Amino acid sequence: MAHMSSNQPNRLEAIMNAPLTPFLFGFIGWYAMWLIQSQLTAFDYALGVSLIFLPAGIRTLSVLIFGFRGAVGVFLGSILSTIGYMGHVETMNFFHICIVAAVSAFSAYLMMALVCWWRRIGGNLDELAFSDLLTIVFSQGLLSASLHQIIYAYHPIEIAYSDPSQAEAFRLWAAMAAGDIVGSMILMLSAVAIVNLFHRLRQLAP
């Protein structure tokens, strides 16, 4: 009986390998972090810019674990969150909202693909070092912030984006980039800690 039990597929592995899991992880993870983020108003620098942006961490985890499918899930979740904070902008239509969501979702995937190509890292990411991970986190934060600020310049979501000075435009960009990077690192380190704890508990189990 014990032998039959040991041969049963691990339930967690079965869930992780399910066809819809990558999309649901990105979608639910992004939107859940967005709901949490909406309560962290103390870290807001401006509308759409936070000094700690937790959804960026889900974005990074989604592409690292599930690749393009994880990014698609984030894209769908980002559409909902973008409607929530940019739906009031008169110049924004659904097409523009999808562009914002695509920037949010695929900037991390693009930078992961570039880093893996540059470092000659295989598709299973076995050769991925911590320095490579930092490169992905920092580069996707810079790219996402840059593209978002370009979009906000054409579709101001509040007065701060209406003809800002060069200094203020730089501060908005720097705050968004920093928020993405910090949010990614918080969730990445938390995920590593949870995985290590899970492995220790499994080792201690009889």
**pLDDT value of residue 3:** 46
Residue 174 — pLDDT band, cuts 50, 70, 90?
very high
Tens digits of residue pLDDT in 141-172: 999 999 999 988 888 777 778 888 889 989 99
Mean pLDDT of the chain: 86
> The CATH number of 2-204 is which of 3.40.190.10, 3.40.50.620, 1.10.1760.20, 1.10.645.10?
1.10.1760.20
pLDDT at 184 over 90: yes
Residue 4 — pLDDT band, cuts 50, 70, 90?
very low
pLDDT at 206 over 70: no
**pLDDT value of residue 1:** 41
Higher pLDDT among residues 72 and 120, named by residue: 72
pLDDT at 203 over 80: no
Highest mean pLDDT among 2-6, 32-36, 47-51, 151-155: 32-36
pLDDT at 6 over 50: no
**pLDDT value of residue 121:** 84
Q: What is 8-69 written as a DSSP string?
A: SPPHHHHHHTSTTHHHHHHHHHHHHHHHHHTT-GGGEEETTEESS-THHHHHHHHHHHHTHH
Cα–Cα distance, 100 to 89 (Å, whole number): 13
DSSP bridge pairs for 46: 49
**pLDDT value of residue 157:** 77
Tens digits of residue pLDDT in 120-133: 888 777 788 888 88
pLDDT at 180 over 50: yes
Percent of the chain beyond pLDDT 70? 93
3-state helix, strand, coil in the chain (%, to 5): 75, 0, 20
pLDDT at 109 over 60: yes
Amino acid identity at 186: I
pLDDT at 13 over 80: no
Q: Which two tokens stand for residue 2?
A: 């014990």
